[in-house]
A and B are shown apart, each in its own frame.
Chain A
Amino acid sequence: MSPVARPAQEPSVWKRRLQSQGALAALALLLLFGGLRYDEFLGTQNIVFLSASTSKFGLIAIGMAFVIMAGGIDLSVGTVAVLASVVAAHLSHHGVVPALAGGVAVGLLAGLFNGIAIARFKLIPFVVTLCTFIAARGLALVVSNRETVAISYETGFDQLADGMLLGVPTPVWIAGLAFALGALALRFSRFGRGVLAVGGNEEAARLMGLPVERIKVTVYALSGCLAGLAGVLLAAQTSGSPTEGAGWELIAIAAVVVGGTLLTGGEGSILNTLTGVLLLAVILNMINFENGYTDGPHLTLGSYWQTIVRGAFLLAVVVLQARLARGGPSAR
Chain B
Amino acid sequence: MAESAPASTPLTTSGTERRGWACLKGGRTLIALVALLAFNALFTRDFLTLQTLNINLSQVAQVVVVAMGMALVIATGGIDLSVGAVAAFAGTLAAVLLAQDSGALVQPGVAVLAALALPLLAAALLGGMNGLLITRCGVQPIVATLVLFIAGRGLAEMLTNGNLRAFAPERLEWLRSNLLGLPVQAWLMAAVVAVTVWVVRRTLFARRLLAVGGNARAAHLAGVPVARVKLIAYCACAALAGLAGLMNVAMISAADPAKIGLNIELDAIAAVAVGGTLLSGGRVDIFGTLLGALAIQLLDYTLLAHGVADEYALIAKATIILLAVFLQRRGK
Contact = CB atoms under 8 A, between A and B. Distances in A.
Interface of A: 73, 117, 121-124, 126-128, 130-135, 137-142, 146, 250, 253-254, 257, 262-264, 302-308, 310-312, 314-315, 318-319, 322-323, 325-326, 330
A272 to B, nearest CB: 16
A123 B322 contact: yes
Nearest to B139: A318
25 contacts: A73-B142, A123-B326, A127-B322, A131-B318, A131-B319, A131-B321, A134-B314, A135-B319, A138-B310, A138-B314, A142-B311, A250-B150, A253-B142, A253-B146, A263-B142, A264-B140, A303-B162, A304-B154, A308-B154, A311-B149, A311-B150, A314-B150, A318-B133, A318-B143, A325-B138
B127 to A, nearest CB: 15
A93 to B, nearest CB: 22
A47 B94 CA distance: 42
Interface size class of B (residues with CB under 8 A): 35 or more
Contact of B318 (A124, A138, A310): A138
B150 A307 contact: yes
B279 A304 contact: no
Contacts of B140: 262-264
Nearest to B320: A131
Interface stretch (B42-50, B95-103, B231-239, B266-274): B266-274
Contact of A307 (B154, B325, B329): B154
A130 B271 CA distance: 13
A135 B150 CA distance: 23
A139 B317 CA distance: 12
Contacts of B154: 304-308, 311
Contact of B313 (A138, A305, A306, A325): A138
Contacts of A257: 143, 146
A315 B155 CA distance: 14
B133 A132 contact: no
Interface in B304-332: 310-315, 317-319, 321-322, 325-326, 329
Interface of B: 79, 81, 133, 136-140, 142-144, 146-155, 157-158, 161-162, 266, 269-270, 273, 278-280, 310-315, 317-319, 321-322, 325-326, 329
B144 A318 contact: yes
Contacts of B311: 137-142, 146
A17 B17 CA distance: 49
Nearest to B142: A263
A128 B325 CA distance: 9
B162 A304 contact: yes
A250 B137 contact: no
A3 B317 CA distance: 40
